[in-house]
Structure 1
Amino acid sequence: MRNSTRYIMSVGELKRKDNSIAFRNENGNFYIPIESTKEIYCLNEVTVNTKLLDFIAKAGITIHFFNYYGHYSGSFYPKEQLISGNLTVKQAKSYLENREVIAKAIVQGIADNIYEVLYHYYKHDKKEVKSTIDWLKEEVFKYLKNENLDIKRILYIEGEIWQRFYSCFKYFLPETFIFNKRVKRPPDNPMNALISFGNSILYSKTVSQIYNTHLNQSISYLHEPSEGRFSLSLDLAEVFKPVIVYKTIFELVNNRKIQVGKHFDKELNYCLLNTAGKKVFVEAIEKRFESVFQHPRLKRKISYKTAIKLDGYKLIKFIMEGKEFRPFSMKEMV
């Protein structure tokens, strides 16, 4: 069973070589074993051809492409085999009739997981985060129980949750990684660079996990459905950002595994992880994707990566059977 992710960080050409995948750059050919590969992430300028794409499609391999700034550009994945017209119709109907219910559940999941992340620091003598923890517990959790919230108010409280979370960074991160606001395109400082890169990897990982369900990637609930992007992946990725992206960042920064003077390229109006920084970050986030916890309902250990796919199945249960949709929460971990 393939469960391996491969990252390509240099400029080069990806091609089929006999019955293998070969990556060629200025240093020569490097072979990627097809039997143990499920995803390939191209984090630099990589050339491919139709011969390769046909080969990897038959092998069930997905390729994700990123631009110069580390933002997700798109994916090539095999022709969809898990297609359900019935589910797609009901998924669209659920958007029309139950959008707010699903969007609220996602925002509740974001709030739950941010609460758990901040509570960890509160327990380790970072008492300054208490006001945000109390706000989440005493105001946000109660507010989200309101059945009459429209999508604008749901999006407003989501934005406020993230802003309050960002405002806590100064209490447990070194000064060189503090930032004033979230800047995405392009990121303007080391923390924004880390967040953008981590979010892009999480988003593409979620694309791959939803591909293994019958869900339609273009019909979303928290984010507006739009042409040209897999907006459902943005939805399901949200609750995992505090757990996967931000915990990875905090541990790398606080343990000095990522350093401003060593792992970033800074220009006049943007800041990006350099190749060395990307390697450190990729290794850490992949370990987090593959790390496991005891699932209370399944009574077995699962990985964070599997948890993303399970959220897709939970959404299907809601759409098809009306079963309550409760995204992943760190409270489930044992």
Structure 2
Amino acid sequence: MPTTARTYWLTSPCRLRRQDQSLRIERDGHDPRHIPITDVRDIIAAAEVDLNTAMISLLNKHRINVHFLSHYGDYAGSLLPADTATSSHTVLAQAQLAADPDASLPIARALVDAAAFNIRWVIDRRLLHEPYQTLKDTAKTATSRGELMAAEGNFRRSAWEVLDTKLPDWLQLAGRHRRPPTNAGNAVISYVNGLVYSRALTALRLTPLHTGIGFLHSTLERHRHSLALDLAELFKPLFAERLLLRLAGRRQLKPHHFDTTANQAMLSAKGRTLIIENVRNDLATTVTHRGLNRKVAYDELLYLDALALTRTCLEESPYKPFRIWW
């Protein structure tokens, strides 16, 4: 993303306090850590965090987003600054585009197709070839968002079945279960998806788009930013399923990384740390961009796709969502 500031990941309980123009992180049993506020782009709180009004005022002044994950790793909410880059001209164009089925359906169709393409690339291009072709055929004739999302759901069920064949028994999903996750594999997917959603929201907040007006997910979606849900769909496979396969293949995930009961599972403190370290490394990984002819980090890919959506809204140019090419 176009800034030298960094994302800070809070993986253990702490207090955030303001000290002049710095952020002070206080943890029991540790010396306070001081960070210049200009070094902070956004914060992801993966553990309990205590804030006071002085800290919130400083975050708001410098337009710093704080994203919170729940005890189970689901996205719980965000503390967003009042002043954003949102432009009324862009929002009006975005709203008009989203409200016009003839204009918005091709965008939704492109999102579903690209997300399925990325899932197939990550899991197995051969075994998912036929389900992907079925999705493409169904998407071409779909006349509503609901039909598109139903087709996407059918494809994802096929993808998760193939994914399970590549995982050890104890990490298999056995179907997708979210709130709460019912087993270790679902716990990993849910946790990483929450992180990806947070990154998508930060990327969109750097553009003049309104995060509540989506093209695939309903604009009336409560408690969520519909456009961030749209954007996150494209990048979840790059981080979630891919990371689960990698950690399973390297035998880095162990049962002690999870706290499990009869009907639910969640990452332990060590498990959350392991996942966050890997996601941070993935976000910093670079690839040569074919259009820009320069190296970009995975993190910047989300911002570039948000810019592509902005151009579509303002210039009515065809939207070409992110597809993994390397």
- Quote the residue 1:161 is aligned against: 155
Q: Which moved more, 1:308-317 or 1:54-63?
A: 54-63
Contact preservation (8 Å) 1:20, 1:31 = no
Q: TM-score normalised to the size of structure 1?
A: 0.90
- Give 1:48-59 correspondences, 5 Å limit: 48-59=51-62
Distance (Å, rounded) in 1 between the aligned partners of 2:259 and 2:123: 30
Q: Which runs of 5+ in 1 are unaligned?
A: 123-129
* 2:321 matches 1:318: no
- Quote the residue 1:126 is aligned against: none
SS in structure 1 at match of 2:15: strand
- Give 1:215-226 correspondences, 5 Å limit: 215-225=209-219, 226=221
Q: Which runs of 5+ in 2 are unaligned?
A: none
- Quote the residue 1:112 is aligned against: 117
Number of corresponding residues: 320
- Give 1:1-334 correspondences, 5 Å limit: 1-34=3-36, 35-97=38-100, 98-119=103-124, 130-136=126-132, 138-146=133-141, 149-225=143-219, 226-260=221-255, 262-331=256-325, 333=326
1:204-224 deviation per Cα after TM superposition (whole angstroms, max 9, x unaligned): 111101000000000011111
Distance (Å, rounded) in 1 between the aligned partners of 2:33 and 2:313: 43
Contact preservation (8 Å) 2:123, 2:163 = no
RMSD: 1.7
Contact preservation (8 Å) 1:80, 1:211 = no
User: In the superposition, relative to structure 1, how do residues 108 and 309 fare at CA in structure 2: closer, same or farther (>3 Å)?
Assistant: same
Identity percentage of aligned residues: 27
- Quote the residue 1:125 is aligned against: none
User: In the superposition, relative to structure 1, how do residues 28 and 17 fare at CA in structure 2: closer, same or farther (>3 Å)?
Assistant: farther
Contact preservation (8 Å) 1:90, 1:319 = yes
Distance (Å, rounded) in 2 between the aligned partners of 1:81 and 1:12: 27
Contact preservation (8 Å) 1:116, 1:330 = yes
SS in structure 1 at match of 2:94: helix
Q: TM-score normalised to the size of structure 2?
A: 0.92
Distance (Å, rounded) in 1 between the aligned partners of 2:4 and 2:192: 23
| Counterpart code for 1:133 | H
SS in structure 2 at match of 1:207: helix
Contact preservation (8 Å) 2:131, 2:155 = no
Contact preservation (8 Å) 2:84, 2:205 = no
